[in-house]
Amino acid sequence: MTARPLQNVTVLEMGTFITGPAAGMLLADLGADVIKVERPGQGDPFRSFKGGLYSPHFQTYNRNKRSLTLDTGNPDDLAVLDALIAKADVFIQNFRPGVADRLNVDAARLQAINPRLVYASISGFGAEGPDRDRPAFDTVAQAASGFLRLLVNPQHPRVVGPAIADAMTGFYTALGILAALNERQATGKGRLVETSMFEAMCHFNLDDFTHLLSAGEVMGPFSRPHVSQSYVFECADGKWIALHMSSPPKFWENLAVAVARPDMLQLPAFASRDARIAHYEDVVAFLAPIFAEKDRAWWTAELTRLEVPNSEVRTSAEVLASEQAQVLGLEVSDPAGPHGAFRTIRSPLSFDGMRMTAVTAPPVLGQHDEEIRASVGR
């Protein structure tokens, strides 16, 4: 049995790529009936990122959904959409400003059909301002919000990491939708919920802005690692281990035991928290050769025994193979996927001890056309 707290919520999602689909997936994971409305023949452009119409990119954010193909420029298809809107709770789109109007799916029109509809609109830079019509993708939003600067090594500038801006915008959108649904219980009316990738990433980057506004400090890519006393070291077998030493003195005292250097904390660079922050590179230079002397498994066992905060820097395969991931049942699957068993990572949430273990594979394009049209007599 799996928890489905949103099982009575119906969502229509006209999302493409990541932001809209991510918001829809989060609601679908919680049990909402999410109908992904796609263009006939092509569907979400993410479908074809690796040939065919079922790329891993598409699969990532489209599980637990049904697929319906509609051309809203066609009167008959628009009538199908309108019939679904009349019964729906939520509509999600992540078009550039003005596109929803051209597709006949703007908020004013849809909420006139269903005043209880929660309409979520996601854009790149917001509905107004000089950047309103600029195209925005993940890297653009990360850079514009100041976040990318905190990730890039200034000595070797390269874009790194996953699509954080896309995913986080989806998370914020889902949060706004849930708030509007909760309010609707009292008011009986829907809301227009708007966010942009730019706004979402500025809020996600709150620590950076707070340091600027409260202390006049401009953070850089090494600000947080220095203050949190976080490190990555390569071990004898070429594998990496990460430490997050934070503030408690006991962590450093126990690390001195682990590296067999009881005198370490008497050295000037280790004498205090402020000293370790100021001499971060000296600390790294001292510890790196020591960690290079033994394999990662030895270090992990010894540091864990001494309660020094650490972890292997794992690949995704190593994560799934770990005992902790297996005990928690992180990997779930749908054996009846359209291209064989679909495997993924479950929602991290549990309700009254029930984990979100049920999953349905992402749909093929138009997989549910017949049943959804039949549900509205079309």
Instruction: In whole angstroms, give the CA distance from residue 369 to residue 97.
Output: 28
Average pLDDT, the chain: 97
Question: Hey, what domains does the chain have and what are their CATH numbers?
Answer: 10-206+329-375 (3.40.50.10540), 240-312 (3.30.1540.10)
Q: What phi, psi does 248 have (nearest 5°)?
A: -55, 125
- 175: β partners: none
The per-residue pLDDT for range 251-310, each reduced to its tens digit, is: 999 999 999 999 999 999 999 999 999 999 999 999 999 999 999 999 999 999 999 999
Q: Cα 83–88–94 angle (5° rounding)?
A: 100
Q: Exposure string (b/e) for 186-195, b if CB count within 10 Å is 16 or more?
A: eeeebbebbb
Q: What phi, psi does 345 have (nearest 5°)?
A: -105, 130
Q: Which residues contact 3 (CB under 8 A, 6 or more apart)?
A: 31, 349, 350, 351, 352, 354, 355, 356
Q: How confident is the model at residue 1 (pLDDT cuts 50, 70, 90)?
A: low
The per-residue pLDDT for range 55-101, each reduced to its tens digit, is: 999 999 999 999 999 999 999 999 999 999 999 999 999 999 999 99
- 354: β partners: 351
Helix (H) / strand (E) containing 276 = helix 273-278
